[in-house]
Structure 1
């Protein structure tokens, strides 16, 4: 049996999985598990870069700590369009409007590509100034800038794949993106050491080589994803004759997508501005912070994946006129994530030092990174709860609520607390670690209270049917 056949035996496609009928637990599991694997594979890009650059030099590791948040910022600025497309596809599929779902997907691809060109140009020309503002030292700045300029030139490839993943997820197909991601991650892991260290006929490019490997791999993933959607044999289909820019539809995408971009941008800006505080400490602390946040990106994969699954389930059930089922899915997901991440918190607490030591052999970095993980671990469950409910808000089209929660947690609580702790209360880097603890706990409480108000239940954002061109 082929690999694809075996995967299809383990996972269910949208045509086999009705998200608007029957039980909640197993459909959410089948929908979310491939997302966990896809996100784990996606995180492998960052982990591979972190590992190999950690072997290359501590300055390179610090440089990637500055570069990763800016990559997140560029993607966050344009991610709203893909989120809007995913929500519209989900609600149209739930309502049984297949042609409308395909038109939404086609328009999302068009406008996301145009947005990526603008953001890539911005990133290329202004990355140096931005990194300087963040406090990158003279030893770190040239390396971080080289990495970001390559990423900026290839940002359209990264956008393209994220759009593919979002649209397929809105339709209910989470298997196909997982398979595509697997192949490109393998390619990236192979290319990383070759281009960083200059193995064989390739010249050593250091941190720039890591960026080239990532862009090349993501570019291949984008091309495969577009080919799958154009064929339409699995998941949502796009049509070339529906990709001509429709400004009226663009307004609909913006109405839903701008708040989602605000959410993502708020997260990214808060992370970038937090680097200003982190950058006031020695390079070892910066490196420890970078490793810690990379570890968090793995730990929180189940919560992020389940949130995306809830987003799809909520969207399809809102489209089908079943808000009670959407609420039940959200509550179930929040309880499961609270349990799972609490167990993972115990493991991280016990094995913090060995985990950090995977990425570096510098004893100061290991000590600082392990302390960071142990401070934040008790609030892992809170992140799971918050993610579950923000997924429901997005699926219902209440993207501004999700944005408000993100800005509250990161911009209004975490960043000011970190600044006050370290600059006014005289705390060392543990003042930053405490900011994570406080913001995670408050964010979860606010998310629960807001969700229980029930104001999201009638948020059907499909509106009037688009003027879908008839087939010739």
Structure 2
């Protein structure tokens, strides 16, 4: 006879003897839409990269110089939307559906409050990028992409919050259809803005921003559909609720800070390669976009971990949360390891579509991409361990300590090592570090060392069980 609490647990089945077992079909049913949704982000990234690759190698290097720094701000400020998922999942697991809707509205209000900051950052792009030794042509192109992309930051944060609601209640299919609409809109709008209307580099950013606006309208329409109004009272919980907004910010800011600081490291890593040469910068950008084929879908698997852990804790069973997390970690590591190897084996087919035909530097970029993909194949295994553990910890509300661990690994290991291995003597940003001059290959070796350290320390944090002392329920 199952306990009443067992009936509320996610991904639970009872065998013939009444023992609890993980229902892999339920986990796959939850993870698959999240996996596909994150795969759509791959489509968005590759679409932007492909369109910009049609402009020039210099345009590709300009994109590499600012692409990840843009997402630093999207994640840092957008954390108030991302953090909604863990709160919603715990409320849903506890049967507090109206509280789940109220938390989502708190995330939407917090997203609107980020607008002045995004505007300020948007018009500070050239000032920020001018410190990294970029050539005048690369700097000008990067700034033309930066401004319209950052002006879309509030839309991205609103979309984070709404999608976090759907993911937190275990209905990620809505997130998938919304992001499919965004991806299709982005492709059409890129073609229109960049080539038909002549905006060039800025057109890629404008296309992405307008596409996200379309996604917000669609997501809000679903959030307010009759079924959700009946079950969650989504139309009655929109008023400003300051305790809820404070909770969203308390969870969301460190939640966003974690990936933001990771992306800061990756952004500076890319800037080092761009400073070294356009070839190193372009090859690094292409490999980063290709590895997103494994990285971003794995985020979908990890997001399922956030939901499963959060709902299990909300239902009062932290042991079951641990069981679900174990499955998620294995799935993520297996997927990223396999895809990383396949990408390296297929380098001759997957790299050329992102090269500019007739560009004299294209062959050098291609030759460099091949060893970089093999190094990336190794680092993705530990990146999967990092992702899956971090997202399971997020479902428990354990976000501050993991963020601190990431800062130590990124700023204490990754960036100094990357600088030392990338630059030859006298060409780096600073002179107090050793400089071995291994170029982009050295930078990617540093990335491997970073993910190795971060993956192991976050796995140790999860295994410590410190997250079991936390709750997001109020």
Q: TM-score, normalised by structure 1?
A: 0.89
1:137 matched to 2:155:
no
Q: Distance in 2 between matches of 1:364 and 1:394?
A: 42
Aligned match of 1:314: 309
After TM superposition, list the pairs within 5 Å mapping 1:177-216 onto structure 2.
177-198=175-196, 203-216=197-210
* Alignment deviations for residues 38-97 of structure 1 (CA, whole Å, 9 cap, x no partner): 111122222111101111111111111123112211211222212332111100000011
1:277 matched to 2:287:
no
* Alignment deviations for residues 212-252 of structure 1 (CA, whole Å, 9 cap, x no partner): 11111111111111111122525985745533333332222
In the TM superposition, structure 1's runs of 4+ consecutive aligned residues that sit over 6 Å from their partners are: none
Aligned match of 2:431: none
Aligned match of 1:171: 169
Q: Distance in 2 between matches of 1:364 and 1:450?
A: 42
Aligned match of 1:128: 126
Aligned match of 1:348: 343
**Does structure 2 conserve the Cα–Cα contact (< 8 Å) formed by 1:345 and 1:378?**
yes
Aligned match of 2:375: 375
**Does structure 2 conserve the Cα–Cα contact (< 8 Å) formed by 1:80 and 1:257?**
yes
Aligned match of 2:150: 152
Q: Distance in 2 between matches of 1:323 and 1:416?
A: 39
Q: Distance in 2 between matches of 1:232 and 1:446?
A: 45
**Does structure 2 conserve the Cα–Cα contact (< 8 Å) formed by 1:105 and 1:238?**
no
Q: Distance in 2 between matches of 1:124 and 1:175?
A: 33
**Does structure 1 conserve the Cα–Cα contact (< 8 Å) formed by 2:82 and 2:160?**
no
After TM superposition, list the pairs within 5 Å mapping 1:40-439 onto structure 2.
40-115=39-114, 117-198=115-196, 203-233=197-227, 237=232, 239=234, 241-361=236-356, 362-423=362-423, 424-429=434-439, 430-439=441-450
Q: Distance in 1 between matches of 2:133 and 2:299?
A: 30
* Distance apart, 1:451 and its partner CA: 1.4
* Distance apart, 1:204 and its partner CA: 1.3
* Distance apart, 1:384 and its partner CA: 1.5
Aligned positions, number: 443
Aligned match of 2:466: 455
Secondary structure class of the residue paired with 2:137: coil
Alignment CA distance shift 1:36-1:234 (3 Å): farther
Q: Distance in 2 between matches of 1:264 and 1:378?
A: 20
* Distance apart, 1:20 and its partner CA: 5.8
* Distance apart, 1:195 and its partner CA: 2.2
Q: Distance in 2 between matches of 1:417 and 1:377?
A: 19
**Does structure 2 conserve the Cα–Cα contact (< 8 Å) formed by 1:303 and 1:384?**
yes
Q: Distance in 2 between matches of 1:317 and 1:232?
A: 27
Secondary structure class of the residue paired with 1:205: coil
Alignment CA distance shift 1:379-1:154 (3 Å): closer
Structure 1 gap segments, 5+ residues each: 1-15, 464-472
Secondary structure class of the residue paired with 1:456: helix
Per mean C-alpha deviation after superposition, the further-off stretch among 153-162 and 26-35 is 153-162
Q: Distance in 2 between matches of 1:384 and 1:178?
A: 22
* Distance apart, 1:210 and its partner CA: 1.0
Secondary structure class of the residue paired with 2:469: coil
**Does structure 2 conserve the Cα–Cα contact (< 8 Å) formed by 1:353 and 1:367?**
no
Alignment CA distance shift 1:78-1:207 (3 Å): same
Secondary structure class of the residue paired with 2:470: coil
* Distance apart, 1:17 and its partner CA: 9.9
* Alignment deviations for residues 13-49 of structure 1 (CA, whole Å, 9 cap, x no partner): xxx9961632242222111111111111122222111
Q: Distance in 2 between matches of 1:206 and 1:158?
A: 22
Structure 2 gap segments, 5+ residues each: 1-6, 14-21, 357-361, 424-433
Q: TM-score, normalised by structure 2?
A: 0.88
* Alignment deviations for residues 310-352 of structure 1 (CA, whole Å, 9 cap, x no partner): 0010001011111111111111122222222222222122122
* Distance apart, 1:272 and its partner CA: 2.6
